[in-house]
Structure 1
Amino acid sequence: MTIYAFDFDGTLTRRDTFLVFARFAKGTSRTFFAIMLMLPLLVMMKLRLYPNWRAKQQLFSLLFRGMPIDQFDETCRRFAVENQNLLRPKGLQTIERAIGEGSKVVVITASIENWVKPFFHDLSGDIRIEGTRIDVRNGKLTGKFLTKNCYGREKLKRIKKLYPARSSYRLIAFGDSKGDSHLLRYADEKHYKPFRH
């Protein structure tokens, strides 16, 4: 069995989608204001003095806490429909080829699953999305993450949980940043910053 594991932001897309989605959902002014409020923590994060996942969760909470999940999911759907140009064509072609060969395909990403899944709506029966999951209570977003931010070692943990019998499959991994390094090292075949030409 062959498993293809793709990072999403920067690998299958032309850029990180978090802020693009935030601007789409909340507008440029509100997104900018939230970033300004978070600026000290974001600087600390860049200096590795504050956890990446915590800064991301706090920014997400500032923007989306209290939003009804139905509204959030519909916004995610519209975002994917209106931003297909974010996807790298060669990345999609590789996914489609892998599915055609009968291989398993997983997109494993630090992005929130809710806005990643709609990008692959037509392939939903053939592709698995493993991303950061959000907490919902009484039909509304709490602003907290239900899982660990799917980044770095967490990506490797997810793959091992999904496919524990390592000797039974060949893993082909695609990534573009240090957040993918553990997954790339674990793979039988690795592709760093693919689909760019």
Structure 2
Amino acid sequence: MTTEASTATERPVLAVFDFDGTLTTADSLGAFLHLHLGTLEWGWALVRQSPMLMAYVLRRVPNHQAKAALLQQTLQGASADLLEESAQRLVTRWLPRHLNPWAWDRLQSHQQAGHTCVLLSASLDVYLGAVARALNIPHLICTGLAMQDGRCSGRMSTPNCHGEEKWHRLQAWFAQQGQPRESWELHAYGDTRGDLPVLRQADQAWWRGRPWHS
């Protein structure tokens, strides 16, 4: 990858990074819920959700259904202030120990070259906002969590930003920028099947740290 900013005759580079397992080496949602609930309550939540989680592992229920059940169980009624405190703990305690060195280096190279960077993740806005700020990523596309009167409803406010929804949301981002997909040189980074819809559309794609071709 070139580290020089695009010239006027080139398309601008858009670097799109998945978060869990790509920019990080571990899952962030479980880490966030653990920090927010504490070890004992998080453990009980996992016990209560074990039938649904097992059904998801066995592919008997879709990702969004298992996720919705977990969020309802763990975050319903949580105040916005407490969620923000938990997000800051995730950024200061968890994130530095779980950044993927290779992906972190790629992100910094894109930033130093003046490329536009987007964090595109199925994880939650209540903590990814703090993560994006910490990593100096100006654009965030993720799953929203519904709030009412300063408290979490336990429901998602957007479709789960996973799989094909990632590409739909990125297309909406292009429209918001007033620049179609074709006007960008798209670089995409991912690590799971849920990232493939975006990787297939990329000019340059990386899967688990290696060049990927559809």
TM-score w.r.t. length of structure 2: 0.85
Matched, 1:112 2:124: yes
**What does residue 186 of structure 1 align with?**
201
Which of residues 19, 22, 25 in structure 1 aligns to 2:30?
Answer: 19
**What does residue 131 of structure 1 align with?**
142
**Superposition pairs for residues 140-151 of structure 1, below 5 Å?**
140-151=151-162
**What does residue 105 of structure 2 align with?**
93
**Superposition pairs for residues 20-169 of structure 1, below 5 Å?**
20-83=31-94, 84-124=96-136, 126-164=137-175, 165-169=180-184
Other structure's SS at 2:166 match: helix
How many correspondences in the alignment? 194
Quote how far apart the aligned CAs of 1:180 are.
0.5
Structure 1 residues without counterparts, runs of 5 or longer: none
Q: Give the 4+ runs in structure 1 shifted more than 6 A.
A: none
Give the letter aligned to residue 112 of structure 1.
L
1:111-160 deviation per Cα after TM superposition (whole angstroms, max 9, x unaligned): 11221232332454x52111111000000000000001111001101111
Other structure's SS at 1:11 match: helix
Q: Is the 8 A contact 1:17 1:111 kept in 2?
A: yes
Q: Root-mean-square deviation (CA), in Å?
A: 1.6
Which of residues 21, 41, 45 in structure 2 aligns to 1:10?
Answer: 21
Structure 2 residues without counterparts, runs of 5 or longer: 1-11
Other structure's SS at 1:56 match: helix
- Compare CA radii of gyration and give the structure with the larger one: 2
Q: Is the 8 A contact 2:119 2:132 kept in 1?
A: no
Give the letter aligned to residue 115 of structure 1.
Y
TM-score w.r.t. length of structure 1: 0.92
